[in-house]
Amino acid sequence: MAATSRGISKSLLPPPKTRASIAKRLSAVTGQLATAAVTAMEARHEWYSQLDARHRSWITLVAQAGIDGFVRWFADPDPSRPSTTEVFGSAPRELARRISLFQTVELVRTTIEVVEEQIDEVMPKNDRPFLHAAIVQYSREVAFSAAEIYARAAELRGAWDARLEALVVDAVLRGETDETVLSRASTLGWKTTAAVAVVVGPGPTAEATPTIESIRHEAAIAGIDLLGAVQGDRLVLLLGGDRLTEPDHPLVVVRRFVDEFGPGPVVVGPAVEHLMEASVSTRAALSGFRAAVAWPEAPRPVSAQDLLPERALSGDGHARRSLARDLYGPLAASGVDLIDTLVAFFDQGSSVEGAARTLFVHANTVRYRLRRVGELTGYSPTDARDAYALRLALTLGRLLPPAETA
């Protein structure tokens, strides 16, 4: 096997002295090669002609630098892997933002094709095989260099987006959502002007960025905007979409990616009308996340509304007032019969017949009143979990001032 340097097989290269002579002849026509390459770009690529004069001049500079770099590399007495940093370093960074990676590949391909064609026209026949073999290796390194530049730019962009996203999520959690936050969210692709829900769960066991991107993909399939960030041991997500106002739809969406969270409860806050009001959903989700330890059998994900009893017992004033206002309030407003029936039902071990005997009414009357309780509150006294919330609501409703239960 022929010995090789890092650049090209030495068996394909002439002796250094011959190579220097070829390079000298080639350097005499580099201007002609660059001109032919730019002319071909204008003819083959419509988007190139739409660039302004400044950007076209930068591309000409890159093409000339690439050809000059090839000549220097080929003339090196002991050529190693071509250094192409000087090729793309000859143009400002703005050029990478102005033309895409696909367009850069088109330009590199066009330049190589034109140079190979010109070699067959302007160089002696004996020089051509060596130059063709060498340009294949050099053009490969140019392509790798271009890919590296765009990959680095993508990484920097991704890191900046992640920091900006974390700032938006943090501002929402702190209840500081203003026009600046809305503008930043829009920059990150947030389009929702309707319902918003906040999700809080354990941080992922894997890398945060790939996890959030995986969740974002699932949310996009469900037609939901998403912003997310890891804060300490928590993963916080902002969901946005018209359908979040539908009953249980936020839970349906979160089930698509709930396994991306770490072990532990995943709590979904109530949907609110706008990102500016997301602090309401945030408060409920965080409170539920802290209190969920008291209900280890809770479904995953679980609504913050379903954790009202645990939240109330853990000191959440909003949860206490919600139980008193939304459960006890309607019962009190309907008259004493429903409350008395509910108390008797619970005191008699959830026995309809026992409650009927205590109240001196027919059992069907008790059943009717219990159904009425369910209609007014959304909680069924015959369901163990709902009964737990109703018992707590009775106590809180009696404890809190009437103004807080109205």
Q: Provide the mean pLDDT of the chain.
A: 83
Q: What are the distances in angstroms from CA 315 to CA 290, 309, 318, 322?
A: 11, 10, 9, 13
Q: Is 307 exposed, middle or buried (0-12, 13-18, 19+ CB in 10 A)?
A: buried
Of 272, 271, 273, 310, give the one whose Cα is nearest residue 288. 310
Mean pLDDT of 138-156: 66
Mean pLDDT of 28-51: 85
Is residue 145's pLDDT more than 80?
no
Is residue 78's pLDDT more than 80?
no
- Type of residue found at 242: D
Strand order in the sheet with 302-303: 225-231, 234-240, 196-202, 267-268, 302-303
Q: Looking at residue 345, what is its pLDDT?
A: 95
Of 343, 333, 338, give the one whose Cα is nearest residue 395. 343
Percentages helix, strand, coil for the chain, rounded to the nearest 5?
A: 65, 5, 25
Is residue 158's pLDDT more than 80?
no
Domain edges within the chain: 10-155, 191-304, 317-405
pLDDT tens readout for residues 93-127: 556 567 776 777 777 788 888 888 888 888 888 88
Is residue 88's pLDDT more than 80?
no
Of 186, 295, 299, 169, give the one whose Cα is nearest residue 238. 169
Q: Would you identify the CATH topology of the domain 191-304? A: Alpha-Beta Plaits (3.30.70)
Per cent of the chain over pLDDT 70 is 85
The Cα 110–Cα 253 span in angstroms is: 47
Q: Looking at residue 23, what is its pLDDT?
A: 84
User: Pairing relation of β-strands 302-303 and 267-268?
Assistant: parallel
**Which residue do the tokens 């009143």 mark?**
369
Q: Looking at residue 74, what is its pLDDT?
A: 79
Listed ranges 148-152, 270-274, 353-357; the one with the highest mean pLDDT = 353-357
Beta-bridge mates of residue 231: 234
Give the residue with greater pLDDT, 156 vs 59: 59
**CB of 348 within 8 A of CB of 316?**
no
The Cα 234–Cα 290 span in angstroms is: 11
With cut-offs at 50, 70 and 90, classify the pLDDT of residue 166: confident
pLDDT tens readout for residues 232-276: 889 999 999 888 989 889 999 999 999 999 999 999 999 988 888
With cut-offs at 50, 70 and 90, classify the pLDDT of residue 198: very high
Q: Please state the CATH superfamily assignment of the domain spanning residues 317-405 in this structure.
A: PucR C-terminal helix-turn-helix domain (1.10.10.2840)
pLDDT tens readout for residues 276-295: 888 899 999 999 999 999 99
The Cα 62–Cα 212 span in angstroms is: 38
Q: Looking at residue 11, what is its pLDDT?
A: 57
Q: Looking at residue 285, what is its pLDDT?
A: 94
The Cα 141–Cα 112 span in angstroms is: 12
